[in-house]
Amino acid sequence: MKEKVYNWYADLGDGDYRNPILYTDYSDPDAIRVGDDYFMTASSFCNTPGLPILHSKDLVNWKVINYALRNIPYPRYETPQHGCGVWAPAIRYHDGEFIIFFPMPDEGIFVTKTKNPWGEWSEPYPIFEGKGWIDPCPFWDDDGRAYMVSAFAKSRIGFKSILNLAEMKPDCSGLIDEGRHIFDGNENGQVTIEGPKLYKRNGYYYIMAPAGGVKPGWQVVLRSKNIWGPYEYKNVLVQGNTPVNGPHQGAWLDTQTGEEYFLHFQDVYAAGRIVHMQPVRWENDWPIMGEQISADAGQPVMTHKKPDIGENARRALENFKKENGLSDIYAPDASDDFSGEKLGMQWQWNANHKDDWYKLTGHSIQLKAVHKETENSIANTSNLLLQKWIAPEFTAYTELDTAMMQEGDIAGMVSLGVDYGAVAVRREQGTFKIVSVSGHQNFKNEQAFSQDKVEELAEVKCTPENSCKIYFRNRVEKLPSLEKDVPRQMIYLDYSTDGENYTTALEYEATAGRWVGVKNGIFCCHEGDGDGKFAEFGYFYIA
């Protein structure tokens, strides 16, 4: 296996960082600081495990440490429901517990808790059941009363651009009422206001929320001396003359020394929704985010001094890196030699998953050939093992051993967006054939419909008596932009019988998934009665 290489580090190693701090699709991020530790979570839609938990000591170097949700608590998610499932969450720390509120636009608002973010999270339970409520954020006031601010999805409830506030029980066991609408963005140029986060500072209640839509929008800050309003507002972070469109929803944070920052996402099309960090300062009890360009607003910075976390926290960070074998600069994992006892944190399945879908051998992963109806597209197959893009361009490699494959098994490498493709080996009538699979997802009433185009490319000299290894490669390469600030990438899926000389099976321009970036990974299915056996992958690495 070749050396592992990461393509994107935010830490520049000279005391500065660059944006984005994560060139990875962590959509709708929210984050908190608890002591010397920062924790972030994000939307996960229909992929499981869901609700990733990212950890940092300095707001610049991050690792995925856990997931708060093993599977999504409804049987419909046993099959992929692209664009549905877990939308924008909020994470908070209250009374010794880490608490995540997350919406499912077709089912309601849910809560999960833990005392240890590295450990097991509680089974989620609904605090509100019904369609159309999204983007919840809990808040506990100084008098002990508690509230939940949220927004609405027009596709489910028929209207949008309105923020709602409801009082809830302080232990998050239920809402006291359904509250009332406290801000209508349709009346004041703040259309599509959503993703609200509620805070309190200097006697003001602040709601930080994006408006204007994901790509063309901006950050709004509302404030009031009364939690129920009325709220005045300012647009405090805009694209300006930067390439950072949006900029969309996120989290307001402080450091141990009193510095303040705002995390938000930017939609970069095929690569998904990546995470930026802006410095924050205050004027007349209004925040200025990023580089100030007007009396009220800032624009995103592309580089900046790293956050000052204080001397004690810096010493704790050095000890933390030593104890966990981390280098001075690190990022979420991408490459995997499958030598661990557990599946790497970068991996998610395409729907609710089962533990027997894979087995780690200490030097490889064996993927079970789970039954797949022939007419079911690869995009709507549950047991795709996927990870997010980790850079604007990269190459992923894997090695497949065909020894355990039986008649009807198909296994290989997949790239999943609205336009999708795979290159694979299929065992058929005693022979092994290289095939390409491609298609396009169409959506109607939030359901995805697609049909695979399958093409036989070559027959390889693998037999049950003389098994062999096939090598796959997924190249993601930049293309020239046709519009300003609109990135484009080309996807190439290749195969090789010797690991050196590759043949291109598919090439097409990348398109994002349903509210998510393109994911790539590996799979094994069985087209026939019941399940098949296994396909063994020796590694998956990014260069």
Rounded CA-CA distance 501/47 in Å is: 34
Rounded CA-CA distance 174/499 in Å is: 57
Please state the separation of Cα 201 from the chain's center in Å. Answer: 30
Class of residue 489 by CB neighbours under 10 A (exposed 0-12, middle 13-18, buried 19+): buried
Residue (of 164, 189, 192, 190) closest to 178 by Cα position: 164
| Cα-Cα-Cα-Cα dihedral sign, residues 267, 269, 273, 279 | negative
Rounded CA-CA distance 445/441 in Å is: 13
Rounded CA-CA distance 255/172 in Å is: 27
Rounded CA-CA distance 402/464 in Å is: 9
CA distances from 143 to 136, 146, 254, 460 (A): 21, 9, 23, 71
| Backbone φ, ψ for residue 357 (5° rounding) | -75, -15
Answer yes or no: are the C-beta atoms of 386 and 519 closer than 8 Å.
yes
Question: Residue 170's CB: how many other CB atoms inside 10 A?
Answer: 15
Active site includes 28? yes
Residue (of 149, 164, 99) closest to 125 by Cα position: 99
Rounded CA-CA distance 447/466 in Å is: 43
Question: Residue 511's CB: how many other CB atoms inside 10 A?
Answer: 17
> Given 25, 28, 419, 531, which residue is catalytic?
28
CA distances from 60 to 69, 128, 331, 334, 439 (A): 25, 35, 9, 17, 38
Rounded CA-CA distance 339/356 in Å is: 18
* Cα pseudo-dihedral 326, 328, 334, 340, rounded to 10: -10
Rounded CA-CA distance 239/241 in Å is: 6
- How, if at all, do strands 370-371 and 519-526 pair? parallel
- How, if at all, do strands 394-401 and 232-237 pair? unpaired
Residues in the chain: 543
β-bridge mates for residue 438, sequence order = 421, 453
Rounded CA-CA distance 468/403 in Å is: 7
CA distances from 91 to 53, 102, 111, 113, 250 (A): 10, 9, 10, 10, 11
β-bridge mates for residue 22, sequence order = 275
Residue type, 203: G
> Given 11, 194, 267, 419, which residue is catalytic?
194
| Backbone φ, ψ for residue 495 (5° rounding) | -140, 160
- Residues classed as catalytic: 28, 194
